[in-house]
Each structure stands twice: as C-alpha cells, then as structure tokens.
Amino acid sequence: MAGLAFDAIRGPANWIARSAVEARAVPAARTAAENRAAGTVVFEAVSKTYRSASGEVRALDRVDLEIPAGTIFGVIGRSGAGKSSLLRTVNRLEEPTSGQVLVDGEPIAALDTAGLVALRRRIGMIFQQFNLLSAKTVRQNVALPLVVAGVPSAEIGSRVDEVLRLVGLENKAESYPSRLSGGQKQRVGIARALVSHPEILLCDEATSALDPETTLSILRLLRDINRRLGITIILITHEMSVIREVCSDVVVLEQGRIAETGPVWSVFGSPEHPATRALLEPLIRGLPEDLVARLLPHPAPGATAVLRITYSGKISPDLSSLAAAAAAPVRLIQAGIERIEGRAVGRMLIAVADGEGDRVLEERLRALGDEVERIGYVAADD
C-alpha cells in the first residue's frame, strides 16, 4: 500500500485526535521516548464486580498485566472468564470496581468528559457482529467517526479512501452492508476503527462469526495492519487457533484471574495451568486409532519401541540426529510440529528398535527434545 498517508505518518502518536477541533490537523511530532510508549496498556490490580438482584458476580479479580506498545496481544479464556470485561475497561466502556487501567502511563479513570472523548479517538474497536448501519453505504459507515468529530468533508474523503485501500475494499465504497459477505463486513468494521488513526485496536471476538477461511484472511489483515502501522492490537477470543495464528503474547483468564501469561510459543509449548491445557486440547493430535489397536504394553520379539517426543519451543526437530542418537533406524509415525514465532512447538511419534531397554534409549534422545515418553511397542512389520 505504498503512498498511503498511514505509511508516511507511521508513528502512532501522530494519529491522535485530542478533540473535534484537533482531529482536523496533524498533531505535532512527539519525542522518540513518547512514541515508544504510545499504545501501552497496563492493568493494575483490576477487579470488576457486577451486582444484580440475584447477587454479585466477580468478572475480574485483581488482574495485573502489561501490554507493550506495538504488539498483538491475545486474551483467551472459556465463556465467562472475564475477557470482554477486561477489554472494555481499556476504553472505559466498563469501569473497574477497584484497581486502575493506564494507557500510555496515564490513569484513565481520572479523565473528564473531554479527556474520555479524546481517549476513545485513540482506541479503535471492532466487534463480533460488525455493528454496521444497514441504511448507510460502506463509505458512510467508515466515515461516521470523522463526521461525529467534525472533520472537514475533504479530509474525511481522503481518510476513508486510505483505509478502504488498506483493507482491500476500495471497490465496495458505495455498496450497502446487505450486499457484503461476512468477511467484507468485518473489513468495513476494521476500516471504520482505523479511520481516526488510533494507536490501539480492540478486537472483541472479531472472527467468531466467520468461517475458517475468512477468519484466516481477517487475521492476516490484522497482522499486516500491525506491521504497517505499528498499532497495538488487543484481541480476545476463545479459540487457541486464533491466538496461534496472529498473536505474539497471550494471557489466559480463568474465572476472572490470570491463569498464565507469556509469549505464545511458550504458553503453547509448555502449558502450566489446567485451563490452558483444556483450551489447547482441540489442537493436540492424539494417537492414531490404528496405532492404538496394535500397540503392545510390553516388548516382544522383533517389536520396536514407540516414543513420543515433545518440542516446546526450545529445541528444533532433527531426524538425522535422532537416528544417530538412537544408533538404529528411526521411523516417523506421526508429527504435529508448528512454527510459532520462529520456534518449533508440537509432538512427534517415532518407532525405533531398542536393543538396550531400561530407558537407556530415552536418555540418549532426551537432549534432542524437551520431553521423551515411551508409549509402548509395535511389531516390527507394522
């Protein structure tokens, strides 16, 4: 998208529209230190309790978390874990019961009405159900935040054209939402969220209503936007496959608390909390059914050992080294290894002749994988 104003501006701080008047002009450049901080979100002991006639529900329980500027940060958990409540505290659609949220180091609870309006112009948001106005065209839907801010018509037109090119919908500007696919509607939502030049983009289950192919295209678009614009993206989901595809870091919530957090490759490779392991379960390939039917619990004449080698991002698979360490031919039965942030994560099943027994083979192979487990034995001709 060479030539876009976004590419020329680059620094997120230059996108901030502090008021309806300031939205009409490009703000002065910030220092390098200020630019580095733009897009940082910090949660300090954030709790949220909802009260109703039936009692109290604690959605968040003393959440401490820092989201660095310019990252794609995933928030995942099962239904009711507190994901949406956490996300909505960033733009004060929800007020914490206790604790505080800081954006670029500024406590947002202290903002007055004008400050809150300015904050929300710095934070774009896209939704699961798109939230488009059916009676307005794509162009009119995308332009709406600028119209509300009082931006001049000429500037509105140029900004809308920029973001429509960015999301690949320049030929749909005069179409109505009813004529668009689900993926196109979400692209309109993304364009509308970007048109005010925000430094943070909140994604509330943005792909849950989409089919797998369209989901992948939207996630690739978000990754491209992050790379081009340096914008911080906070994405909530209940699907680990979404986190794996696009995020660099992730926090797992369980009953309003942080179960674990860290780089995606580390959380995927060595999940520590039962909630994380439960969320990862659909992505982990079990033993092949035909292998289970033939698996022997004890060695038999001519049988080969079946070993499962786990890679959690610290070591990369090397079949030639495995064969050398085993001092015997190694047969690959099944492998599910992925590259996450440049690291190998997954499992491999191998069959290898084991003439020594007594776990000697596992010891020799342990340096080549993070975990080696003997599953059983299969006949040599299987």
Residues 113 and 150 in one domain: yes
What pLDDT score does 53 carry? 83
Pairing of strands 72-77, 249-254: parallel
Choosing from 246, 262, 281, the residue where a domain stops is: 281
Domain count, the chain: 2
CA dihedral of 86, 90, 91, 97, whole degrees rounded to 10: 60
Closest CA to 271 of 305, 237, 290, 243: 243
Question: What's the pLDDT at 284?
Answer: 85
Band the pLDDT of 379: cuts 50, 70, 90.
confident
Residue 358 is predicted with a pLDDT of 57
The CATH code of the domain that includes 366 is: 3.30.70.260
- 145-151 long-range contacts (CB < 8 A, ≥24 apart) are 145/121, 145/192, 145/195, 145/196, 146/23, 146/195, 146/196, 149/17, 149/20, 149/23, 149/121, 149/196, 150/20, 150/21, 150/23, 150/24, 151/20, 151/23, 151/24
In what helix (H) or strand (E) does residue 343 lie, and over which residues does it extend?
Answer: strand 343-352
**In terms of domains, do 248 and 122 share one?**
yes
Closest-CA residue to 330 (of 284, 372, 288, 285): 372
The model's pTM = 0.84
> Do 181 and 309 fall into the same domain?
no
Domain range spanning residue 340? 289-378
The strand pairing partners of 60, in sequence order, are 48
* Torsion angle, alpha carbons of 238, 241, 246, 250, to 10: 50
CATH of the domain at 71: 3.40.50.300
**What is the tens place of the pLDDT at every residue in 257-267?**
999 999 999 99
User: According to the 3-state scheme, what is the secondary structure of 190-228?
Assistant: HHHHHCCCCCEEEEECCCCCCCHHHHHHHHHHHHHHHHH
- Answer for the pair 119, 91: CB distance below 8 angstroms, yes or no: yes
* Mean confidence (pLDDT) of the chain: 86
pLDDT in tens, 303-341: 888 999 999 998 888 888 888 888 888 888 998 899 998
Q: What is the pLDDT of residues 21-79, one digit of tens each?
A: 333 333 333 443 344 468 999 999 999 999 988 889 999 999 999 999 999 999 999 99
Q: Are residues 235 and 359 in the same domain?
A: no
Residue whose tokens read 């809308």:
160
Q: Tens of pLDDT along 352-375?
A: 887 655 577 788 888 888 888 999
Last residue of a domain, one of 226, 256, 281: 281
Helices (H), 270-317: 274-280, 289-294
Least-confidence region, from 94-108, 186-200, 343-357: 343-357
Q: What is the pLDDT of residue 173?
A: 94
In the three-class reduction of DSSP (H, G, I as helix; E, B as strand; rest coil), residue 130 is classed as coil
